[in-house]
């Protein structure tokens, strides 16, 4: 039995109750056999067994008081996964579905994504099963303050630097930063995604969505194709989806869908960015409201989706950008996209496609950009924010955007050349996994057993 198979079998037994974590590990490990064959030290020093286990998991209770004066309790975590190449770095997710298995999958992905950026960033992730939906701003603030009151012991500008993810945007990062400052009296870059007024970086808000489009452009340029004039479908309606749509419009493509947990908007005339931002960023409302404001838009509620399918992926398109959440695109969805002529998929969300959907895209030979490569623009720009904070500088929009573009094209080149080096040109899943893994594994070897 191969080294990969042995490690995978042990994990499946040990963590059978964490299916998304196992899925993320399987996707990475199944690419690694060729690199493990070339360097026996990885097995000798048990790199796989070590890399799949977080260095540290912090699990804590968060008590806070709601607007009615009632005490509420949530479970929160910070998974400090791997610090071989830099301080732990990765977002915080606030969503009722959050559990340790989900944060382990996200933290594990983050190790390789952060490595691929070429920057000195370790991997981490955190969050809580707090549901921001329907909460007042004061309730969100009290929760964030209580959350940071415990987290403060474990984070720091050179130790562990959290940022946003689902349910955590600029507002929440501001509340967390304020509490960190109050507790430590230290004004430092302990979080990224901050407001521009207190150490945030231009482009960080846009970075993940923009980066996914830059990555798609790199994949398509290599095939002598482009997004210009093409119909695109986007899922999600949060930070990543919004700025993915914005960049698509800027490059002359036409995004025709967005979605949230209640349904999707299909607007053949193209998504209206001003309305999307008004509904989601200002009103914090459902997309039902978007359809009220834009007559050409049709709202399809989740209850009308074909059984077991996500209706976004049935809309004919040239390129698809899943930007909502994990496992939002299954094999049937992938087959629908391919049957309708889709030529490019760039993942803005983390692990949005199931393993069989990934294999369908690879089998069809389309331009497929896996999440850890295509959505790395967010964390890369977070590192640019850290660099500005550390040097007490603020760079202008064009400077940061140019660096983001360069990082995304570097990630593409690295993944593509690594895939070619290992005999599978065009397989960016394999290329990204091997390239991300090699750097971290070699750093672990060089640092000894620790």
Ligand X SMILES: O=C(O)CCC(=O)C(=O)O
Binding-site residues from annotation for NAD(+): 208, 239
> What's the rounded Cα separation, in Å, for the pair 36 and 188?
40
Binding residues for substrate: 89, 110, 113, 164, 382
Query: Of 107 and 164, which CB lies nearer to ligand NAI in the complex structure?
Result: 164
By CB under 6 A, how many residues form the interface with ligand X? Answer: 12
Torsions phi, psi for 56 (to 5 deg): -155, 140
- Note whether 167 binds ligand X by CB under 6 A: no
> What's the rounded Cα separation, in Å, for the pair 276 and 292?
12
Q: Which pair of tokens denotes residue 308?
A: 């077991």
Report in angstroms how near the CB of residue 328 gets to ligand NAI at its nearest: 6
Q: Which pair of tokens denotes residue 168?
A: 């955590």
> What's the rounded Cα separation, in Å, for the pair 84 and 51?
10
Buried residues in 67-91 as b, exposed as e (16+ CB within 10 A): eeeeebebebbbbbbbbbbbbbbbb
Which of ligand X, ligand NAI, none is residue 261 near (CB under 5 to 8 Å by kind)? ligand NAI
> What's the rounded Cα separation, in Å, for the pair 68 and 239?
30
Query: Of 36 and 213, which CB lies nearer to ligand NAI in the complex structure?
Result: 213
- Note whether 375 binds ligand NAI by CB under 6 A: yes
- Note whether 379 binds ligand X by CB under 6 A: yes
* Residue listed under structure tokens 């989740």: 302
Out of 129, 172, 260, 385, name the contact with ligand NAI by CB under 6 A: 260
Q: Give the footprint of ligand X on residues 176-195 (CB under 6 A).
A: 192
User: Residues 63-92: x/- map of binding to ligand X (CB under 6 A)?
Assistant: --------------------------xxx-
Query: Of 31 and 326, which CB lies nearer to ligand X in the complex structure?
Result: 326
Residue among 420, 372, 348, 350 at smallest CA distance from 117:
372
Which of ligand X, ligand NAI, none is residue 238 near (CB under 5 to 8 Å by kind)? ligand NAI
* Number of CB atoms found within 10 A of residue 221's CB: 13
Out of 87, 123, 164, 200, name the contact with ligand NAI by CB under 6 A: 164
What is the per-residue DSSP string for 293-326?
H-TT-EEEEGGGSPTT--GGGGS--SEEE--S-T
Q: In the complex, which residue's CB is closest to ligand NAI?
A: 238
Torsions phi, psi for 340 (to 5 deg): -90, 5
Catalytic-role residue among 104, 125, 194, 280: 125
Listed in sequence order, the DSSP H helices in 117-197 are 137-151, 170-184
Report in angstroms how near the CB of residue 355 gets to ligand X at its nearest: 19
- Note whether 347 binds ligand X by CB under 6 A: no
Q: What is the three-class DSSP state of 122? A: coil
Q: Give the footprint of ligand NAI on residues 233-252 (CB under 6 A).
A: 236-241
Whether 135 is catalytic is: no
Query: Of 163 and 234, which CB lies nearer to ligand X in the complex structure?
Result: 163
Residue among 377, 326, 322, 311 at smallest CA distance from 344:
322
- Note whether 163 binds ligand X by CB under 6 A: yes
- Note whether 279 binds ligand X by CB under 6 A: no
- Note whether 378 binds ligand X by CB under 6 A: yes
Residues 282, 285, 290, CA angle at the centre, nearest 5°?
95
Residue among 267, 262, 310, 312 at smallest CA distance from 285:
262
Query: Of 148 and 379, which CB lies nearer to ligand X in the complex structure?
Result: 379
Q: Helix, strand, coil: what percent of the chain each, to 5?
A: 50, 15, 35
Out of 233, 349, 428, 440, name the contact with ligand NAI by CB under 6 A: 349
- Provide Rg for the chain, Cα atoms: 21
Q: What is the three-class DSSP state of 412? A: helix
User: Residues 381-410: x/- map of binding to ligand X (CB under 6 A)?
Assistant: -x----------------------------
- Note whether 350 binds ligand X by CB under 6 A: yes
Q: Give the footprint of ligand NAI on residues 168-187 (CB under 6 A).
A: 169
Residue ranges that bind ligand NAI, judged by CB under 6 A? 164-167, 169, 208, 236-241, 259-261, 323-325, 328, 348-350, 375, 378
Residue ranges that bind ligand X, judged by CB under 6 A? 89-91, 110, 113, 163, 165, 192, 350, 378-379, 382
Catalytic amino acids?
125
């Amino acid at each position: 039995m191969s080294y990969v198979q042995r490690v995978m079998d042990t994990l499946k037994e040990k963590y059978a109750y964490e299916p998304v974590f196992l899925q993320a590990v399987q996707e990475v490990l199944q690419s690694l056999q060729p690199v493990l064959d070339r360097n026996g030290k990885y097995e000798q020093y048990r790199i796989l067994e070590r890399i799949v286990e977080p260095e540290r998991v912090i699990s804590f209770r968060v008590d806070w008081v709601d607007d009615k004066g009632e005490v509420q309790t949530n479970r929160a975590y910070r998974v400090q996964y791997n610090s071989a190449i830099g301080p732990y770095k990765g977002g915080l997710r606030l969503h009722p579905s959050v559990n340790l298995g989900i944060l382990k999958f996200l933290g594990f992905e983050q190790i390789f994504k952060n490595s691929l950026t070429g920057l000195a960033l370790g991997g981490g992730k955190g969050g809580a099963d707090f549901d921001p939906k329907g909460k007042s701003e004061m309730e969100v603030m009290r929760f964030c303050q209580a959350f940071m009151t415990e987290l403060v012991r474990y984070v720091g500008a050179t130790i562990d630097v959290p940022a946003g993810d689902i349910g955590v945007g600029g507002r929440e990062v501001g509340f967390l930063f304020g509490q960190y400052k109050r507790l430590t009296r230290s004004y430092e870059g302990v979080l990224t995604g901050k407001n521009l007024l207190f150490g945030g970086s231009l482009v960080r808000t846009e970075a993940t969505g923009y980066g996914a489009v830059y990555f798609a452009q790199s994949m398509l340029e290599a095939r002598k194709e482009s997004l210009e004039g093409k119909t695109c479908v986007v899922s999600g309606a949060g930070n990543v989806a919004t700025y993915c749509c914005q960049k698509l419009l800027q490059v002359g493509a036409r995004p025709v869908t967005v979605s949230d947990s209640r349904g999707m908007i299909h607007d053949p005339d193209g998504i209206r960015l001003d309305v999307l931002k008004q509904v989601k960023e200002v009103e914090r409302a459902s997309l039902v409201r978007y359809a009220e404001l834009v007559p050409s838009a049709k709202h399809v509620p989740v209850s009308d989706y074909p059984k077991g399918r996500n209706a976004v992926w049935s809309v004919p398109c040239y390129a698809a950008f899943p930007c909502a959440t994990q496992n939002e695109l299954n094999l049937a969805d992938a087959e629908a996209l391919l049957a309708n002529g889709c030529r490019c998929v760039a993942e803005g969300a983390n692990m949005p496609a199931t393993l069989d959907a990934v294999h369908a895209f690879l089998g069809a030979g389309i331009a497929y950009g896996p999440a850890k490569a295509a959505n790395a623009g967010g964390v890369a720009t977070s590192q640019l924010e850290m660099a500005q904070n550390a040097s007490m500088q603020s760079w202008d929009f064009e400077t940061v955007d140019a660096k983001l573009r360069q990082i995304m094209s570097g990630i593409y080149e690295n993944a593509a050349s690594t895939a070619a080096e290992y005999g599978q040109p065009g397989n960016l899943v394999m290329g990204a996994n091997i390239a991300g893994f090699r750097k971290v594994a070699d750093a672990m070897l060089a640092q000894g057993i620790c």
